[in-house]
Amino acid sequence: MDNYNSSGQNISGTFSGSYKGENGNILLDVVIKENVITHIELLSHTENPGFNKAIVQLTDDIITSNSLDVDIVSGATLTSTSFIKAVEDALKNSGINPSDLKDVSTITTSKDDYLTNNCDILIIGGGGAGLSAAIEASSTSECKVILLEKMSFAGGNTRMSGGEYAAPGNWVQLNEGILDDSIDTFFNDIYYGGKEKGNPELIKVLAENALTNAFWLRDFVGVKYKDTQSWYGGHSYSRTLWPEGDGPKYVDTLISKAVDLGVEFHYNTKANQLLKDGTGRVIGVRAVRNGKIIDYVAQKGVILTTGGFGSNIEMREEYNTVWPTLDESIPTTNSPAIVGDGIKMAEELGANIVNMESIQLYPINNPATGNYYFLDYARLNSNAILVNKHGNRFVNEKETRDNLSASILKQPDSRAFEIIDSTVIKKMNLKETYSSEISKGLAQKVLTIGTLEECADFFDIPYDSLIETAKKYNSYSTTGIDEDFGRTSSLEPVDINGEFIMFAGVVSVHHTMGGVDIDKNARVLDINKIPIPGLYAAGEVTGSIHGGNRLGSLSMPDTVTFGRIAARSAVNMH
């Protein structure tokens, strides 16, 4: 045990710390205010990029608890230990013994804070659902709206997505002459795509409101959409709109609208516990910011929009009954902030939790980071094919995410390789549009560009077999019948002699369909299906809509539809 030169006094300042990590030193600065750790700035490290998420998680845990006594992130033991040691080193340089850090439970709200934090509507979580709820509440009422976000920026998984939005009857469909899509077809796609486990009453609300809310996003919020759309697995029609600039621009547009409307954003503020009054009505939350406990009180309602639990390995393992394992060997596309906070808070209060075993894997992700490739957009819209390490196709590339993932998990090394030909590279302008992703992939050695033979060599795939596969696929495109896997969409031939982009992909936890049960007014239900007064929820934190599987591009219409409904219910104290 190190000896600390503890003065027993309150210490403030910025102190550097370092410790040897797996590959080199971890260097960081710790900002301390009167014995409270308020910020940890990571200056440099050479840990595996896959461990960034562990570092974010530990930073969050240390700041929230104002203590070094935090759980090691499973799957990243060495990085976790080194990171904590580096923070400990900074404390040593400050002269504070870890045991002198203030106990967070003794740091309470001052009278001034209490007044500031009184509002009408309190929204917990600034992703797509929280931002939609904030815009709706502030644009349709005089309510004071506060949005709590535990990270230093808003967006959650929505920011990390393409922002793609399925809407039957949308304006691009009309331009493309797709005139026979309908709410009923959309309803059936969602219901059967969700393995008949979703609540039909809620699916009806989603199906009926998706188009209206696409107009709301475009015409009221100011989201700019591309003139083209996509077809996603499980949808009967091509009906998916794409915002310009994907998830990041989509989220930033929503944030600026909310800010214009007067919504107060409280960043770095983590909600920890829902507060009730004597009648059982939810009246606010107890949150932590910079190691300080802050109580927020909402006169009209609290809306939970904290997202799912894809980054919480323990919860994944606890609830998974579908996949062979969801332990740390399976990465996630999720933000490290998405660890089921809202589900746990609501459950503690008696909320009904449903469909928790339904956890969706996204099929094609970067093996170095676990994040999806925006380049995979090509697979959805072109002749791109998937092969395994032996150079053989193994699935209909247009299958739903769960079926594709199940097939990939059965391949050698649980790995797929996506092949995109020169026609598509040019037509979709892939090199320019995805230049940064391509450069990163090249550096990480998970992506290559070259002739089919060069690509095969790079990934150690037998070329003979790969060329055979490409020729066979081309023969199916001539007859229009994929005799092996029944693919019907974009069955165009690949240009065997041209240049290819080829990248390796692994499955990642993408969406958790389970969560809190809500009714059609977005009221959170208790285990007797009775609404819990004052508590509303929307987005991935809810569990009753997508059932056993969420089809691609349904997240945005879900978050906007139920985010807006939750806001209206809270404003009217319904």
Closer to ligand ADP by CB, 466 or 566: give it: 566
Asked if residue 47 binds ligand ADP (CB under 6 A), the reply is no
Active-site annotation holder among 159, 379, 401, 564: 401
Asked if residue 151 binds ligand ADP (CB under 6 A), the reply is yes
Task: State the DSSP H helix or E strand holding residue 212, giving kind and residue range, or none if neither.
Answer: helix 200-215
CB of 258 closer than 8 Å to CB of 270: no
Query: Contacts with ligand ADP in 194-223 (CB under 6 A)?
Result: none
Asked if residue 167 binds ligand ADP (CB under 6 A), the reply is no
Asked if residue 149 binds ligand ADP (CB under 6 A), the reply is yes
Residue 401 among the catalytic residues: yes
DSSP 20: E
Q: Which of 158, 320, 382, 388 binds ligand ADP (CB under 6 A)?
A: 158
Asked if residue 515 binds ligand ADP (CB under 6 A), the reply is no
Asked if residue 88 binds ligand ADP (CB under 6 A), the reply is no
In whole angstroms, give the CA distance from residue 501 to residue 362.
20
Closer to ligand ADP by CB, 258 or 466: give it: 258
In whole angstroms, give the CA distance from residue 543 to residue 354.
5
C-beta of 294: minimal distance to ligand ADP in Å?
A: 12
C-beta of 236: minimal distance to ligand ADP in Å?
A: 24
Tokens of 468: 């055979």
Asked if residue 154 binds ligand ADP (CB under 6 A), the reply is yes
DSSP 544: S
Asked if residue 438 binds ligand ADP (CB under 6 A), the reply is no
Closer to ligand ADP by CB, 302 or 406: give it: 302
Beta 353-354 vs 515-516: how paired, if at all?
A: antiparallel
CB of 555 closer than 8 Å to CB of 540: yes
Asked if residue 547 binds ligand ADP (CB under 6 A), the reply is no
Task: State the DSSP H helix or E strand holding residue 515, giving kind and residue range, or none if neither.
Answer: strand 515-516
CB of 355 closer than 8 Å to CB of 513: yes
C-beta of 35: minimal distance to ligand ADP in Å?
A: 24
Query: Contacts with ligand ADP in 322-351 (CB under 6 A)?
Result: 337-338, 341
Closer to ligand ADP by CB, 287 or 494: give it: 287
CB of 251 closer than 8 Å to CB of 245: no
* Angle 223-228-231 from CA coordinates, rounded to 5°: 105
In whole angstroms, give the CA distance from residue 43 to residue 17.
10
The residues near 93 (Cβ < 8 Å, ≥ 6 apart) are 15, 16, 17
CB of 109 closer than 8 Å to CB of 293: yes
Query: Contacts with ligand ADP in 281-310 (CB under 6 A)?
Result: 305-307
Q: Which of 270, 289, 300, 379 binds ligand ADP (CB under 6 A)?
A: 270
Catalytic positions, please?
401
Residues near ligand ADP, by CB under 6 A: 124-130, 148-151, 154-158, 270-271, 305-307, 337-338, 341, 539-541, 555, 559
